[in-house]
Amino acid sequence: MANEIGIGFLGMGNVGETVVATLLERAATFRERTGASLSLRRVAVKDPSRARGIDLPGGVLTGDGAEVIGDPSVDIVVEVIGGDGAAGDYVRAALAAGKHVVTANKELIAKAGPELFDLARANGAALRFEASVGGGIPVITPLLRDLPANRVLAIRAIINGTTNFILTNMAQRGESFEDALAQAQELGYAEPDPTNDVDGHDAAFKIAIMAGLGFGTHVPPEAVATEGIRSLAPQDFQYARELGYVIKLLAIAERHEEGVLARVHPALLPESEPLARVDGVLNAAQVRGDLAGTLTFQGAGAGAAPTTSAVLADVLDVARALAEGSQPRWDPGAWRYGEALGLGMLETRYYLRMTVRDQPGVLAQIARVLGEAQVSIAAVEQRETDEERGTAELALMTHRARELAVTGAIETLRDLPEVRAVDAMLRVEAAT
């Protein structure tokens, strides 16, 4: 039993400052809730001389992360540096030293999860990471704590606020990708270099973690089939709406007989689906269990305050166990190295948009190519004829087809003299 629990920080950006400020402000409440005083011991930052947004107790700041880890009065290390460089080394060192670690680091957990869990287990330490996915929305805990009796069948999420903000503006205002991105950057929702978000990498880290927890199978981020949103055009949103769909960047993981298929790509989602109404910077995750059915968790997926809510949930839970004299280990289970499947095995409906020569017989040619690939057409729209260039735009929706058949047919279509370009290919996500 501990009456006082020492907390150390690695990193002190926006989130770190909010976590520390909340720890200091709510000390009395947290003592009541955990049974122990949470005491801020050490904070490692790159430049200890830089001015901070909060007043830290004297002598707490250091420029050396090893001092936080090596301080015997630090029981819980909160890592808010991010990335898998220095942060990874510090987290490994902290766990090896038997410190309990709370992290918001999605990249590190997605890449090195199984190794870190083994390290934590071997050293009697807890490794907690609720804040790594979904900001303030509980998604890690539900997968581990609330659904253990279920066979998890599928996870489907809108888990990147930047891209959801951009897609919402493209859908509601008819903006181009470039304009919507510029606005997101202006508002601070997108980084100056937006690659990590708009190319789907951030979402891939997050679905890799969720897939690991849900299926007990390690899905390394590079095994997540990942497509971003750069190629989407305003007319895709119009066609989608006319067909009764919205376009969302979805992160999906499904259990198949052969293994786990994890993917991140923009998809057409029926308007009636709960996820279709998750707009702007909101996030939402759906988990389908064989007992619980489909559960949807929705809220703010980013921001300093929501992330603080998640970081402190983990800190307080570990602290409560320590205060009671219990082991705060909270085991995410052994992740098997299972088969990660590719998109080739997917079977769904597909939306295609292409630029074609504006002349009779073109649609017949396209239908013939698709038909020979066993892909049948469910709906077609042709419009926006460009008289000068003699081209027209054609959008079509297929019936259910195999991904390999569709991508093969697209290759053939690209060789047709009548087809100038296949501009977009989007998968349709069926209703839950």
Chain residues binding a copy of itself by CB under 8 A are 22, 26, 30, 32-33, 130, 136-138, 141-142, 145-150, 274, 277, 289-300, 303, 305-306, 308-310, 312-313, 315-317, 321, 324-327, 329, 333
By C-alpha distance, which of 149, 168, 346 is closest to 256? 346
Q: Looking at beta carbons only, is 8 or 136 nearer to a copy of itself?
A: 136
User: DSSP secondary structure string, 80-132?
Assistant: -S-SSSHHHHHHHHHHHTT-EEEE--HHHHHHHHHHHHHHHHHTT--EE-GGG
Residue that is written with structure tokens 């090893």 in the block = 66
* Separation CA 185–CA 263 (nearest Å): 26
Minimum separation from the CB atom of position 37 to a copy of itself (A):
15
Closest to 44 in 3D by CA, of 4, 93, 5, 2: 93
Query: Can you point out the beta strands (E) in 133-244?
Result: 152-158, 225-226
Is residue 111 within 8 Å of 274, Cβ to Cβ? no
Nearest distance from C-beta of residue 211 to a copy of itself, angstroms = 18
CA distances from 27 to 100, 161, 304 (A): 20, 31, 19
Cβ-contact 221, 204 below 8 angstroms: yes
**Cβ closest to a copy of itself, residue 331 vs residue 411:** 331
Contact present, 80 and 107 (Cβ < 8 Å): no
According to DSSP H, which parts of 325-402 are helical?
A: 362-372
Rounded least distance, CB 421 to a copy of itself, Å: 38
Q: Is 248 a catalytic residue?
A: no
Q: Which lies closer to a copy of itself via its Cβ, residue 215 or residue 239?
A: 215
Q: How far is the CB of 113 from a copy of itself (least distance, A)?
A: 18
- Closest approach of Cβ 314 to a copy of itself, in Å? 9
Catalytic residue among 99, 106, 111, 206: 206
Spacing of C-alpha 52 from chain mean position? 30
Q: Give me the sign of the Cα torsion angle 93, 99, 105, 106.
A: positive
CB of 153 vs a copy of itself, minimal distance in Å: 13
- Minimum CB distance to a copy of itself smaller for 58 or for 325: 325
- Residues 202 and 208: their CA atoms lie apart, in Å, by 10
Cβ-Cβ contacts under 8 Å for 339 (sequence gap 6 or more):
258, 259, 260
Pick between residue 147 and residue 409 the one whose CB is nearest to a copy of itself.
147
| CA dist 192 → 182, 264, 272, 291 (Å) | 9, 22, 35, 44
Residue 162 or 309: which CB sits closer to a copy of itself? 309
Q: Cβ of residue 114: shortest distance to a copy of itself, in angstroms?
A: 16
Supply 256's token pair. 């198949």
Those residues with Cβ within 8 angstroms of residue 79's Cβ, 6 or more apart along the chain or in another chain: 10, 11, 87, 90, 91, 94, 101, 102, 103, 104, 105
Nearer to a copy of itself, 220 or 303 (CB): 303
- Indicate the helix (H) or strand (E) that contains 384: strand 377-386
Catalytic residue IDs: 206
